Every structure is written in structure tokens, then in C-alpha cells.
Amino acid sequence: MSLLERIDALLPQTQCTRCGYAGCLPYASAIAAGAAPINRCPPGGAHTIAALAALLGRSALPLDARCGIEAPPAVAVIDADACVGCARCLPPCPTDAIIGARKLLHTVIAELCTGCELCLPVCPVDCIVMLPRAAADDLGAATPARAPAPSSADSRRRHQSHLLRHPAPRLAPPSP
């Protein structure tokens, strides 16, 4: 397994872009090339930073606050009464966890949602909320959030499939 593959395997595969790269693989590529620090992944947090540091023989760093904060795994939930079916949330979802069609209610397949939050800024009616996966599970069987988080391998595979239909946006390299 190449260094790039080993780095990518340590990342959580949320594809959230909070690191400043267009997904986990571009961030892993930048780390492998020595062009990015290892502390830019809020979903992976301290655990991922420590694992990257051990792999690369570097010192662990605190999470770069400019990228966000470490938080429990989350899942998107759509308010059915507020959704207008605009379909703007479908293309940015990196794992195609949101299903629906124009002028119809959309829903999140919780088992596929990585909690990336990329659906939030595009929703014109703010009908999508992020709930910690554990809190969403406490809502009971009626919520679509009662599902395990997707595995990193499944998320990576679904993201690669998504990119065939929706190429990743080009993000400016993050400032140091």
C-alpha cells in the first residue's frame, strides 16, 4: 500500500472540504507531498491527527481552529414540513445520501450520511439540520437517523461514484 493510500485510509472520508481540499483524497495527496499539515481534519479530530503523526513520524499538532472544531459524528435530517423540493441539496452531497426530485420531499438515508454539512448552505429554506448521531438515535424509531454511520470504505466508494456525476469543485489551497 502506498503512503498516499495509507494516509487516505486514516482520514474519516466525510468529504466535508473543511480542510480546504476538495475531499479526503486531495487532502491525503497534499499531506503525502508535504504540502499540507496533518491537523486540518475536524471530523477526524485528535485521533486522526495522532494516527497521521505516528504514520509520518511527525509531532501531533492541535486541530487547526480555522478548519472547524471536533464534534461527535452527525447526521443530516430534513424537516418534511419545510422542504420545498428545490433539489439544491442533491449535488453537493458527496455520498448521495440525500434522495428526492424537484418539487418532491427530499430525505436523507442516514446510513449513507457522513455528516459533512455540505447540504446546509445550499438549502434556501433552512430545512436541513445536523444532529449528533447519538442524539438523533434518541429520537426514536420514527427518525431516519436511527442507523449506523457509514464505514470509511463505503463512504470512499460512494464518493468516487458521486464524482463521476458531479466533479469536485476546485478549492483554493488553504492558507498556512
Looking at the 3D structure of the chain, how many domains does it have? 2
Name beta bridge partners: 98. 108
- Residue 128 and residue 101 share a domain: yes
Q: Is 61 a member of any domain?
A: yes
Cβ proximity of 14 and 116 under 8 Å: yes
- Domain of residue 91 covers 74-165
Boundary of a domain, candidates 51, 67, 83: 67
Q: Is 86 a residue whose pLDDT tops 70?
A: yes
Tens-digit pLDDT profile for residues 119-157 = 999 999 999 999 988 766 554 433 444 556 778 888 888
- Residue 138 and residue 78 share a domain: yes
The closest of 73, 122, 78, 71 to 97, measured between CA atoms, is 78
Q: Is 77 a residue whose pLDDT tops 60?
A: yes
Distances (CA, A) of 76 to 9, 32, 111, 170: 24, 31, 11, 24
- Residue 49 and residue 86 share a domain: no
